[in-house]
Chains A and B, each alone.
Chain A
Amino acid sequence: MKHSFIDKYSDLDSLIHRLDPRTKFIASLAFIISVVLTPTSNWRAFALHLCLVTSLLIIAKLPPFYVLKRSLVIFPFVLLVAVFIPFLKPGEIAGSYNIWLWQVSVTYAGLLILANVAVKAWLCIFSLILLSATTKLVDLLKGLKQLGIPKVIILILSFMYRYIFVLVDEAMRMRQARDSRSFGGGRLRQLKTLGNMIGTLFIRSYERGESIYAAMLCRGFGDEIRSLRQLGFKRIDASFGVAFGLVIISSAIIFW
Chain B
Amino acid sequence: MHIPDGFISAPVATVGCVVAGGSVAYAVKATKKKMGEKQIPLMGVLAAFIFAAQMLNFPIAGGTSGHFVGAALAAILLGPWRGILIMTCVLVVQCLVFQDGGLFALGVNILNMGIIASFVAYHIYRGSALFGEGRKRKLIGGGLAAWFSVAIASVACAFELAISGTVPLKIALPAMAGIHALIGIGEGLITAAVLNLIMATRADLLELQKA
B18 in the interface (beta carbon within 8 A): no
Give per-residue flags for B35-56: 1 if the beta carbon is below 8 A from chain A beta carbons, else 0: 0011111111111110111011
Within the assembled complex, what's the spacing in Å between the Cα atoms of A117 and B6? 6
- Tell me whether B46 and A195 are in contact (CB under 8 A): no
- Tell me whether A163 and B45 are in contact (CB under 8 A): yes
Among listed B92-100, B116-124, B129-137, interface-contacting one: B92-100
Given A37-B10, A198-B56, A202-B49, check contact A125 B44 (CB 8 Å): no
- Tell me whether A216 and B198 are in contact (CB under 8 A): no
| CB-defined contacts of B42 to chain A, threshold 8 Å | 206, 209-210, 212-213
Give per-residue flags for A150-192: 1 if the beta carbon is below 8 A from chain B beta carbons, else 0: 1011011111111110111011101100000000000110111
- Tell me whether B193 and A152 are in contact (CB under 8 A): no
| Interface band, chain B | 35 or more
- Tell me whether B104 and A160 are in contact (CB under 8 A): no
Question: From residue B9, how far is it (CB to closest CB) to chain A in Å?
Answer: 7
Within the assembled complex, what's the spacing in Å between the Cα atoms of A161 and B94? 11
| CB-defined contacts of A7 to chain B, threshold 8 Å | 97
- Tell me whether A212 and B52 are in contact (CB under 8 A): no
Residues of B within 8 A of A (CB): 2-7, 9-10, 13, 24-25, 28, 32, 37-49, 51-53, 55-56, 58-59, 68, 73, 77, 85, 88-90, 92-93, 95-100, 102-104, 165-168, 171-172, 175, 186, 189-198, 201-202, 205
A197 in the interface (beta carbon within 8 A): yes
- Closest B residue to A33 by beta carbon equals B104
Given A84-B168, A160-B44, check contact A191 B5 (CB 8 Å): no
- Tell me whether B44 and A158 are in contact (CB under 8 A): yes
| CB-defined contacts of A121 to chain B, threshold 8 Å | 4-7, 102
Within the assembled complex, what's the spacing in Å between the Cα atoms of A88 and B2? 23
Residues of A within 8 A of B (CB): 6-7, 28-29, 32-33, 35-37, 70-71, 73-74, 77, 80-81, 83-84, 87-88, 113, 117-125, 128-129, 131-132, 137, 140, 150, 152-153, 155-164, 166-168, 170-172, 174-175, 187-188, 190-192, 194-203, 205-206, 208-210, 212-213, 216, 221, 223
Within the assembled complex, what's the spacing in Å between the Cα atoms of A248 and B45? 40
Q: List 22 A-B contacts (CB under 8 A).
A: A32-B102, A32-B103, A71-B99, A74-B6, A77-B3, A113-B165, A120-B5, A120-B6, A137-B97, A150-B28, A155-B44, A157-B92, A160-B45, A175-B56, A190-B59, A196-B197, A198-B68, A201-B49, A202-B77, A203-B201, A208-B45, A213-B42
| CB-defined contacts of B88 to chain A, threshold 8 Å | 153
- Tell me whether B202 and A203 are in contact (CB under 8 A): yes
Within the assembled complex, what's the spacing in Å between the Cα atoms of A210 and B37? 12
Question: From residue B161, how far is it (CB to closest CB) to chain A in Å?
Answer: 8
Task: Tell me whether chain B's interface is mostly helix, strand or loop, or mixed.
Answer: helix
Within the assembled complex, what's the spacing in Å between the Cα atoms of A51 and B117? 39
| CB-defined contacts of B28 to chain A, threshold 8 Å | 150, 152-153
Question: From residue A83, how far is it (CB to closest CB) to chain B in Å?
Answer: 7
Given A152-B40, A191-B189, A203-B201, check contact A87 B51 (CB 8 Å): no
Within the assembled complex, what's the spacing in Å between the Cα atoms of A108 and B127? 49
- Tell me whether A164 and B6 are in contact (CB under 8 A): no
- Closest A residue to B9 by beta carbon equals A36
Given A83-B175, A137-B96, check contact A156 B85 (CB 8 Å): yes
- Tell me whether A164 and B48 are in contact (CB under 8 A): yes
- Tell me whether A36 and B5 are in contact (CB under 8 A): yes
- Tell me whether A128 and B197 are in contact (CB under 8 A): no
Within the assembled complex, what's the spacing in Å between the Cα atoms of A87 and B167? 9
- Closest A residue to B40 by beta carbon equals A155
- Closest B residue to A116 by beta carbon equals B6
| CB-defined contacts of B53 to chain A, threshold 8 Å | 171, 198, 201-202
7 further contact pairs, Cβ within 8 A, besides A164-B52, A170-B52, A223-B37: A150-B28, A155-B40, A156-B44, A159-B40, A159-B48, A161-B93, A197-B56
- Closest B residue to A86 by beta carbon equals B171
